[in-house]
Amino acid sequence: MSALTHIPSPGRFKVPPLSAAVRVGDLLFVSGTPGYDEDGHIAEGDFGRQFDQAVATLQAILAAGGASMRSIVKVNMLLTRLDDVAEMNRRYAEAFGPGPYPARTTCVVLSLPDPRMLLEIECVAQVDPRA
């Protein structure tokens, strides 16, 4: 059995007990990725900035795990405000496009673990076997 590959979180701040992603075979399972920057700042109340930052972090995690935005299979978008759905779709279409897009589920939860988080993006991606 080939070992699991654990990708550490890219930030310079203390994170919960989790890896940013874990590779098993040619699949990379990515943790729910919030909109903190590398210093642990989060744009409170600003969905757009949190979204863009989460995508930037996600891109770094995917690259570290041998995957990319084009190799994402499935995304789960967790939001905390229904009113952000339209803006999320606009930004998402650009960040994850052009199509065909990954499979995706979106839901609005009561809260994310830090109540300032307005979103988290988690995904499963295919790893390039040459990575």
Ranges within 13-32 binding a second copy (CB under 8 A): 16-22, 24-27, 29-32
Nearest to 110 by CA among 87, 78, 83, 88: 78
**Selected binder of a second copy within 35, 58, 71, 118 (CB under 8 A):** 71
Eight-state DSSP code of residue 110: S
Eight-state DSSP code of residue 14: -
- Where along the sequence are the contacts to a second copy (CB under 8 A)? 1, 4, 6, 8, 16-22, 24-27, 29-32, 71, 73-76, 78, 80, 82, 85, 89, 92-93, 96-97, 99-113, 115, 120, 122, 124, 126, 128-130
